[in-house]
Homo-oligomer: A and B are copies of this chain.
């Protein structure tokens, strides 16, 4: 019997690792597997990131065309934010079914444009093509001084682990939509992604962040990605996780809610996850607070290679079950 390995068996990250090994690394090429690809330009890095979403696999069914357009820009800007970059602009490819109404396209473009404007950047151009399923691909460019670039690789035992903002907004929004709970503010947690460009810049300027990535894949998945790349471990304190107010409000309306699962595993929160030396934490936190944001310590980097969760006085291995493409999402 010939066993043909399908992508459904591999999962997205194994596929990416496979791809990476096949590539010829030419001049100026840097390590693949970060949120952005980088090209050195004088004292700066040009950041490039691309993200594809399709109606059937990545776009929540309740999203309006305008929200989808915003989302496409926001998820790409989030990768620029995670590297400390300032956005330079985006190109967007719209793959649209033939029967798409013109109004849908207009709303899509307005949504994309308004997100770009909100983050002081611009849609530079793009492509419009016919496709069977609505398929959107965005590429964002950004720039960051080389000495301020925040890589994924660099977490060091003894560093603190921190997150910007709060966790569980996207999960609460997803759950509210799924349970038909009419609360626009909660739903927006999923429908209106807010990339942390300003926060990324403040963190980058501090020049003490040892590793950083966005939380789009969920907390547990992101920690495991950093763990593998950095050959370190993490000890995360369950009590320390900054819970989004939306999730607390939702829990009152929906007592069967598994809050912990949403906090630990649900993707779609566009906060930043980072590590930095403990002695730098206070000053960086202060700088973020001064600008109306927040930074919370959630744990420490260890030498153990395990990702542990400290909960009710006990330590257990944190499961790695965030969203991964080609494999079923935990919430179906």
Contacts and interface: CB of A to CB of B under 8 A. Distances in A.
Interface in A86-100: 88-89, 91-100
Name, among A7, A97, A110, the residue most crowded by chain B CB atoms within 10 Å (CB to CB).
A7
Interface stretch (A13-21, A200-208, A234-242, A299-307): A13-21
A163 to B, nearest CB: 23
A54 B132 contact: yes
A133 B130 contact: no
Interface in A157-216: none
Nearest to A35: B125
When all copies of this chain in the complex are counted, the total is 2
A105 B11 CA distance: 13
Interface string A107-139: 001100100110011111111111111010101
Contacts of A58: 129
Interface size class of A (residues with CB under 8 A): 35 or more
A120 B4 CA distance: 33
A46 interface: yes
Interface in A48-80: 48-54, 56-58
A50 to B, nearest CB: 4
A32 interface: yes
A10 to B, nearest CB: 7
Contacts of A94: 19, 52
A25 interface: yes
Given A28-B89, A46-B46, A54-B129, A98 B326 contact: yes
Contacts of A39: 88-89, 124, 141
Contacts of A282: none
Interface string A1-35: 00011111010100110110011111111101110
A23 B112 CA distance: 9
Given A36-B125, A88-B28, A129-B58, A22 B113 contact: yes
Contacts of A120: 26
Contacts of A100: 6-7
Contacts of A43: none
Contact of A122 (B25, B57, B99): B25
A100 B121 CA distance: 37
Given A15-B96, A23-B113, A24-B122, 12 more contacts: A7-B98, A18-B109, A19-B94, A26-B117, A26-B121, A34-B125, A39-B124, A39-B141, A52-B137, A56-B132, A95-B135, A95-B137
20 contacts: A4-B103, A6-B102, A7-B98, A7-B99, A18-B102, A19-B126, A24-B117, A26-B89, A26-B116, A26-B117, A26-B121, A28-B88, A28-B89, A50-B92, A52-B127, A54-B135, A128-B325, A133-B133, A135-B135, A137-B137
